[in-house]
Amino acid sequence: MRRSLLAVAFAVAAPLHAQGLMADMHTDVGQVESKIVALAKAMPESSYGWRPTGARSVGELFMHVAEDNYYIPVAWGKAAPAATGITEDFKTTQAYSSKPRTKDQVVAEVEASFKHLHEAMNLVTDANMAEKIKVFGQEMTRQRLMLMTVTHLHEHLGQGIAYARSNNVVPPWSR
C-alpha cells in the first residue's frame, strides 16, 4: 500500500497548458490533495468530532480545507459554486463549513473543492503572476496568493497527520 499511494502522489501531473512555476504549483497541490483526501477517508467517522483542546475537530479541519479551496479562487476571478454560498465575503465560508455533514459528505466536499481549486489555478499563469489582486482585505500578487494557498494546504496536511496519529490512524502512505 505504501508504495502505491506514494507513487500516485508523486505521479500527479500539471495540466498540459501549465508551464513553469504554475506547472509546479499544480503538481504540488495535486500531491497534497491526494494525501489530504487519503487521510479524510482513513479517519473513522467516529473521530470526525474529536478535537485537541482549543482547535478544530477532525471534520472541521477537512471542511476548512474545502472552504478555502472555494474562497481563495474568488480573488483569482473564479466564483465558488452557488451551492456553497461562498462569496468574496469571508463570513460566507463559516456558514458553508459549519453545516453538519457525515464523513462521506465531508470527503465529497474536499474532493470537489480540490477540483474547483485546480480549475481556478488555471487563471493564474506565469504571465500574470505579478498582477495585484485584493484578498483578505489586503493587496497582494496572484503569485503570493498561490504560494499562500500551497503553504496553507501543507499546514493543514501536517495538522491532519497529527490528528490521525492522535487517533491511532496511520497515514495511508506510511503503511
Q: What is the pLDDT of residue 30?
A: 95
Tell me, what DSSP letter sits at residue 172?
A: G
Alpha carbon 123 to its chain's center: 17
Q: Are strands 132-135 and 138-141 parallel, antiparallel or unpaired?
A: antiparallel
Dihedral over alpha carbons 38, 42, 44, 45 (to 10 degrees): 20
Cα–Cα dist 28/9, whole Å: 9
Give DSSP secondary structure letters for 20-64. Answer: HHHHHHHHHHHHHHHHHHHHHHHS-GGGTT---TTS--HHHHHHH
Residue 13 has pLDDT above 60, yes or no: no
Which is it for the CA torsion 57, 3, 118, 27, positive or negative?
positive
- 67-71: average pLDDT: 96
| pLDDT single digits (tens) 76-129 | 999 999 999 999 999 999 999 999 999 999 999 999 999 999 999 999 988 899
pTM for the predicted model, two decimal places: 0.88
Closest CA to 132 of 117, 123, 120, 144: 144
Angle at 113 between CA 53 and CA 19, to 5 degrees: 120
| pLDDT single digits (tens) 27-41 | 999 999 999 999 999
Q: What is the pLDDT of residue 20?
A: 81
| pLDDT single digits (tens) 128-156 | 999 999 988 899 999 999 999 999 999 99
Whichever domain contains 146, its CATH number is 1.20.120.450
Cα–Cα dist 40/103, whole Å: 8
Domain carrying residue 74: 2-174
| Number of domains forming the structure of the chain | 1
Angle at 64 between CA 4 and CA 12, to 5 degrees: 25
Closest CA to 74 of 108, 131, 125, 116: 116
Q: What is the pLDDT of residue 7?
A: 44
